[in-house]
A and B are shown apart, each in its own frame.
Chain A
Amino acid sequence: MEYIRLENISKSFGEIVANDSISFAIEEGEVLSILGENGSGKTTLLNILGGIYRQDAGKVFIRGEEAVINSPKDAYDYGIGMVHQHYKLVEAFTAIENVVLGLSRKDLLKAYSRFGADLAAKKFQSCSLKESRKYVLEMCNRFGFVFNPDKRVSDMAIAEKQSLEIVKVLFRGVDTLILDEPTAVLTPQETEHLFDVISNMKKHGKTVIIITHKLNEVLRISDRVAILRKGQFVGIVPTDLATESSLAEAMVGKAVDLDIHRSDIEHTGPRLVVEHLTVRNREGRETLSDVSFTLFGSEILGVAGVSNSGQKELLEALSGLARDKDGSIIFHNPKKNRPVTFFHKNVQQVRALAAQGKFYFEGGEPCSLVGYSNKQITELVENRKILFYENEIIDLSRMKPLEIRNYGIKLSFVPEDRLGMGLVGSMSVIDNMLLRSYRKGKGRLLDKTKSRALAEEIVKKLDVKTPSLNTAVSKLSGGNIQKILIGREISNRPKIMMVAYPVRGLDINSTYLIYRLLDEQKTKGTGIIYVGEDLDAMIAITDRILVLCDGKVTGIVDSRHTTKEEIGLLMSKAE
């Protein structure tokens, strides 16, 4: 039976048309996936249904009658509730406070009676938190949620927050639940649990709408799938009749290659040698214990583990952000037979190293620089006449983050916090390029010409969708933000690159583009540390995988000869 019908819905933000006259109907009691690339307008469309945005044109019909949804409250009144990708919870409040938030006495009484209260039997029904807790717990029993009413949201893990959001929406008695990218931040196990919850809700007669771009999930969980492309409605198909490649094609508009390419090339010797690395957090607890591994040049080393096993701490330690650490981090700067520069050294240091016999002249004869004046040495170095015999070996363990960066060791994008650590959201694409290079300009004034050129190049090469180079980065979609970030980091030829969850929340095209870029970077000699959660993809793209469990290395396996099960076992192998 037709339940919700959208008719010619249009919505623009400035010059960007997010939804262009979209019409389709949603059946009662179905699980419908809304599939589309980043920026295709899925979230905007459902935000209109959820009362966050107001459509510029078009109408929404619910059970045949026109519905005017001007606010999230109106949406609730029509029985529509939305769980946003970025959870709408008050961090400082407890779970139960978040659930009853914004509910009037009338709303609460309705909710109570929905979940077992006999209001007629009682003269006066109190609406205190204590009473609400009783009925929320009753509801959680019914739907199979684990719910801790007094836990503060700020103490919750991400999966807990999500289930709290769903509890909050269900307690408001909705018939239709909209989930925006619900699995983007969940582990495989948590995703399974969410799918159980969704089928359970379907059993209870609820309609579930899932916004996603993950093809396997669409096929797994939904009855039908509606596809959007660049703000336009492409079509709606029963999931039984769809395959991954047919959906991908409909979504992108052309056939997509779903294979991850891994170049088989010889590694170029050790690039980073970590030995007995131990890191303690602020409370003095060990977050990494005795971690040892070697990263080679032209290699992608995966780091696997359940969340919070020490991945973040490892990256922070390598980039110099962790203060309290023991052990050695030795960087082999690939300098063999390459010219000496003043980038990290001054004349005195060059003279000292030359005296130790580290350098030779262009022609091949040894160079001790004895008897040369500073001016002569400067001239020789600037003309690139002095070369290294061997790779330069540098201890990074006591260096500051900036010094480490200057050696070409880049901590690139932590997408959980893409805008926090990687880019400045309110600054333009060009200015974000400038963030990495502003120290280099001559004089006091900023030199924007190079940044503009770089921004232009990245936008063109990586196909970033942005209205202009002066648009604030925060206005772009997640995939485009990620492209700008990785483009910038690659642009100054890193020697070691660290990436964390680089494709989390990205659409197919961006995802495969990022995989391609990483592989390309590997063939250029960069050593890459890849922290990820999708084990299939990790096995496909990496050369070796280091498995962390509770801050310890439980194994380093060869990606070409390993299985998901082997890694899964190592991930849970606590001693």
Chain B
Amino acid sequence: MNYVVSFLAMAIKFATVFLFGATGEIINQKSGHLNMGTPGIMYFGALGGTIGERIYLDTVAAGQPLNPFLIFLVPTLFAILFGAIGGFVFSFFTVTLHCNQNVTGLTLTTLLVGISCFFISAINKEGMSDAGLLLQNAWPGYKAAGWFGEIFLSQSYFTYFGVIVAVGAACVISFTRVGLNLRAVGENASSADSAGIPVQKYRYIATIIGGAIAGIGGAFYELDNAMGMSFEAADGIDAFGWLALCIVIFSLWKPAIAIGASFLFACLSIAPDFFAPYLGAAGFVTYILKMAPYVATIVVLTVVSIVDKKQQAPANLGVPYFREDR
């Protein structure tokens, strides 16, 4: 029982990184932008988050208590800023300069991973592991609620915020005029244009917002999950970014489904390390188990391509739009 509870709690926590990444990318893709820069943007968000936390920690005088909510808020704002910059760069190249989306995205990821790795490792991480522990303090008395509290109330501010963002994005996309316009831009940009929707503006804004959301995912991973300390030893955040791209397809471009899908992928991702201590001599199996999320990705892509007869993907995904092109 204890194992189950702590496994589920860990999985939910880990799902946060996927959820932000997938939600951000869904917003990107709904506008017709296949943004493969998202893994890099998540990394860049992690850099922003780390800078934000350093700044906050430095403003608090030694010996003074830290405010858990501010440990969440300040890095998040920085992550949003950095993620938005990433999204802006992508849009600038694809919308304004008419560059190919795939090439731009891949280049952006390579560039941002390098920049972020370099600067994150250069930042003084003193105090970050204590700060990371405090992030889980959203509901201090969670132990009173038994297993329910352990699983659902022990999570960090980031996790609850991620769910709110995903549900919010789902509502905006499905139920508002802005959402309708956004979907139209991704489905058929030239129709949207002739209906009077400013296509370029929508693509810019969707990509910037999507980048900002994805950036928070990176900050979460660095500050909460890795607590600033084990960063160099951890898997690169970009790896989770690629998985987030797959979750987008798996959830059929619906942020609400992405919540469940992120949880599923998180289970697969943490299972190897979680069960490794119990495997004993067979510990080498973990290396094979670690392939699970990637194998799942291949399975998901295959199944979706067979089952998805209705073509859930936005029809103009990856298609550039310039009004005067013939």
A: which residues have CB within 8 A of B? 13, 50, 52-54, 71-73, 76, 82, 84, 87-93, 97-98, 100-105, 127, 168, 172, 474-475
Given A88-B188, A101-B181, A102-B184: A52 touches B194 (CB 8 Å cut-off): yes
Task: Point out which of B190, B197, B324, B326 has the most chain A C-beta atoms below 10 A from its C-beta.
Answer: B326
Chain B contacts of A82 at CB under 8 A? 194
> Which residue of the partner chain A has the closest CB to B312?
A92
1/0 contact string of B181-194 vs chain A (CB within 8 Å) = 10110011011111
Taking a contact as CB atoms under 8 Å apart, the answer to whether A90 and B326 are in contact is no
Taking a contact as CB atoms under 8 Å apart, the answer to whether A168 and B195 are in contact is yes
Chain A contacts of B196 at CB under 8 A? 71-73, 76, 102-103, 172
- B323 contacts partner chain A, Cβ-Cβ < 8 Å: yes
User: How far is it, in angstroms, between the C-alpha of A331 and the C-alpha of B195 when the chains are bound?
Assistant: 51
Q: Which 4 A-B pairs give the minimum distances between C-beta atoms?
A: A73-B196, A102-B195, A88-B191, A102-B197
Chain A contacts of B180 at CB under 8 A? 93, 97, 100-101
Taking a contact as CB atoms under 8 Å apart, the answer to whether A90 and B193 are in contact is no
B: which residues have CB within 8 A of A? 177, 180-181, 183-184, 187-188, 190-198, 315, 323-324, 326
Sample (18) of A-B pairs whose CB atoms are under 8 Å apart:
A54-B324, A71-B193, A73-B197, A88-B190, A89-B188, A89-B191, A90-B184, A90-B187, A90-B192, A91-B188, A93-B183, A98-B191, A98-B195, A101-B197, A102-B197, A103-B177, A104-B177, A474-B326
User: How far is it, in angstroms, between the C-alpha of A50 and the C-alpha of B196 when the chains are bound?
Assistant: 11
Chain A contacts of B183 at CB under 8 A? 90, 92-93
User: How far is it, in angstroms, between the C-alpha of A53 and the C-alpha of B193 when the chains are bound?
Assistant: 12
Taking a contact as CB atoms under 8 Å apart, the answer to whether A72 and B194 are in contact is yes
Q: A50-B194, A72-B194, A90-B184 are in contact. List 10 more A-B contacts (CB 8 A).
A: A13-B326, A52-B194, A53-B323, A87-B191, A88-B191, A89-B188, A90-B188, A98-B195, A102-B196, A105-B177
User: How far is it, in angstroms, between the C-alpha of A151 and the C-alpha of B192 when the chains are bound?
Assistant: 19
Taking a contact as CB atoms under 8 Å apart, the answer to whether B192 and A52 are in contact is no
User: How far is it, in angstroms, between the C-alpha of A275 and the C-alpha of B265 when the chains are bound?
Assistant: 58
Chain B contacts of A93 at CB under 8 A? 180, 183-184, 187
Q: Pick from B195, B198, B315, B324: contact of A101, CB below 8 A.
A: B195
Q: How far is the CB of A261 from chain B (nearest CB, A)?
A: 35
User: How far is it, in angstroms, between the C-alpha of A474 and the C-alpha of B195 when the chains are bound?
Assistant: 24
> Which residue of the partner chain A has the closest CB to B194?
A88
User: How far is it, in angstroms, between the C-alpha of A127 and the C-alpha of B176 when the chains are bound?
Assistant: 10
User: How far is it, in angstroms, between the C-alpha of A84 and the C-alpha of B191 when the chains are bound?
Assistant: 10
Taking a contact as CB atoms under 8 Å apart, the answer to whether A72 and B177 are in contact is no
Q: How far is the CB of A130 from chain B (nearest CB, A)?
A: 12
> Which residue of the partner chain B has the closest CB to A87?
B191
> Which residue of the partner chain A has the closest CB to B187?
A90
Given A53-B324, A102-B184: A90 touches B191 (CB 8 Å cut-off): yes
Q: How far is the CB of A445 from chain B (nearest CB, A)?
A: 28
Chain B contacts of A72 at CB under 8 A? 193-196
Chain A contacts of B192 at CB under 8 A? 90, 101-102
Q: How far is the CB of B182 from chain A (nearest CB, A)?
A: 11
Chain A contacts of B191 at CB under 8 A? 87-90, 98, 101
Task: Point out which of A104, A105, A474, A475 has the most chain B C-beta atoms below 10 A from its C-beta.
Answer: A104
Chain B contacts of A88 at CB under 8 A? 188, 190-191, 193-195
Chain A contacts of B177 at CB under 8 A? 100, 103-105, 127
Q: How far is the CB of B113 from chain A (nearest CB, A)?
A: 34
> Which residue of the partner chain A has the closest CB to B310?
A92
Q: How far is the CB of B280 from chain A (nearest CB, A)?
A: 53
User: How far is it, in angstroms, between the C-alpha of A172 and the C-alpha of B193 when the chains are bound?
Assistant: 14
Taking a contact as CB atoms under 8 Å apart, the answer to whether B181 and A73 are in contact is no
User: How far is it, in angstroms, between the C-alpha of A110 and the C-alpha of B193 when the chains are bound?
Assistant: 20
User: How far is it, in angstroms, between the C-alpha of A268 and the C-alpha of B177 when the chains are bound?
Assistant: 65
Chain B contacts of A92 at CB under 8 A? 183, 187, 315
Task: Point out which of B188, B191, B194 has the most chain A C-beta atoms below 10 A from its C-beta.
Answer: B194
Taking a contact as CB atoms under 8 Å apart, the answer to whether B181 and A71 are in contact is no
Taking a contact as CB atoms under 8 Å apart, the answer to whether A71 and B198 are in contact is yes
Chain A contacts of B194 at CB under 8 A? 50, 52, 72, 82, 84, 88
Chain B contacts of A102 at CB under 8 A? 181, 184, 192, 195-197
User: How far is it, in angstroms, between the C-alpha of A172 and the C-alpha of B187 when the chains are bound?
Assistant: 21
User: How far is it, in angstroms, between the C-alpha of A88 and the C-alpha of B323 when the chains are bound?
Assistant: 13
Q: How far is the CB of A459 from chain B (nearest CB, A)?
A: 20
User: How far is it, in angstroms, between the C-alpha of A87 and the C-alpha of B183 when the chains are bound?
Assistant: 18
User: How far is it, in angstroms, between the C-alpha of A513 and the C-alpha of B326 when the chains are bound?
Assistant: 26
User: How far is it, in angstroms, between the C-alpha of A97 and the C-alpha of B177 when the chains are bound?
Assistant: 9
Chain B contacts of A127 at CB under 8 A? 177
Chain B contacts of A474 at CB under 8 A? 326
> Which residue of the partner chain B has the closest CB to A83?
B194
User: How far is it, in angstroms, between the C-alpha of A217 and the C-alpha of B198 when the chains are bound?
Assistant: 36
Given A53-B324, A90-B191, A474-B326: A73 touches B184 (CB 8 Å cut-off): no
User: How far is it, in angstroms, between the C-alpha of A52 and the C-alpha of B190 when the chains are bound?
Assistant: 9
Q: How far is the CB of B313 from chain A (nearest CB, A)?
A: 10
Chain A contacts of B187 at CB under 8 A? 90-93
User: How far is it, in angstroms, between the C-alpha of A87 and the C-alpha of B315 when the chains are bound?
Assistant: 15
User: How far is it, in angstroms, between the C-alpha of A517 and the C-alpha of B323 when the chains are bound?
Assistant: 37
> Which residue of the partner chain B has the closest CB to A84?
B194
Taking a contact as CB atoms under 8 Å apart, the answer to whether B315 and A91 are in contact is yes
Q: How far is the CB of A233 from chain B (nearest CB, A)?
A: 22
User: How far is it, in angstroms, between the C-alpha of A53 and the C-alpha of B326 when the chains are bound?
Assistant: 11
Q: How far is the CB of B26 from chain A (nearest CB, A)?
A: 16
Chain A contacts of B195 at CB under 8 A? 72, 88, 98, 101-103, 168
Chain B contacts of A105 at CB under 8 A? 177
User: How far is it, in angstroms, between the C-alpha of A82 and the C-alpha of B190 when the chains are bound?
Assistant: 13
Q: How far is the CB of B110 from chain A (nearest CB, A)?
A: 29
User: How far is it, in angstroms, between the C-alpha of A103 and the C-alpha of B176 when the chains are bound?
Assistant: 12
Chain B contacts of A76 at CB under 8 A? 196
Q: How far is the CB of B155 from chain A (nearest CB, A)?
A: 36
> Which residue of the partner chain B has the closest CB to A168?
B195
User: How far is it, in angstroms, between the C-alpha of A76 and the C-alpha of B197 when the chains are bound?
Assistant: 12
User: How far is it, in angstroms, between the C-alpha of A76 and the C-alpha of B196 when the chains are bound?
Assistant: 8
Q: Pick from B190, B198, B324, B326: contact of A73, CB below 8 A.
A: B198
User: How far is it, in angstroms, between the C-alpha of A72 and the C-alpha of B199 when the chains are bound?
Assistant: 11
Chain B contacts of A101 at CB under 8 A? 180-181, 184, 191-192, 195, 197
User: How far is it, in angstroms, between the C-alpha of A475 and the C-alpha of B326 when the chains are bound?
Assistant: 7
> Which residue of the partner chain B has the closest CB to A13?
B326
Q: How far is the CB of B170 from chain A (nearest CB, A)?
A: 17
Chain B contacts of A103 at CB under 8 A? 177, 195-196
Chain B contacts of A84 at CB under 8 A? 194
Task: Point out which of A53, A54, A101, A105 has the most chain B C-beta atoms below 10 A from its C-beta.
Answer: A101
User: How far is it, in angstroms, between the C-alpha of A403 and the C-alpha of B108 when the chains are bound?
Assistant: 48
Chain A contacts of B323 at CB under 8 A? 52-53, 71
Chain B contacts of A89 at CB under 8 A? 188, 191
> Which residue of the partner chain B has the closest CB to A86?
B190
Chain B contacts of A54 at CB under 8 A? 324
User: How far is it, in angstroms, between the C-alpha of A104 and the C-alpha of B197 when the chains are bound?
Assistant: 10
> Which residue of the partner chain B has the closest CB to A73?
B196
Task: Point out which of A50, A54, A88, A102 has the most chain B C-beta atoms below 10 A from its C-beta.
Answer: A102
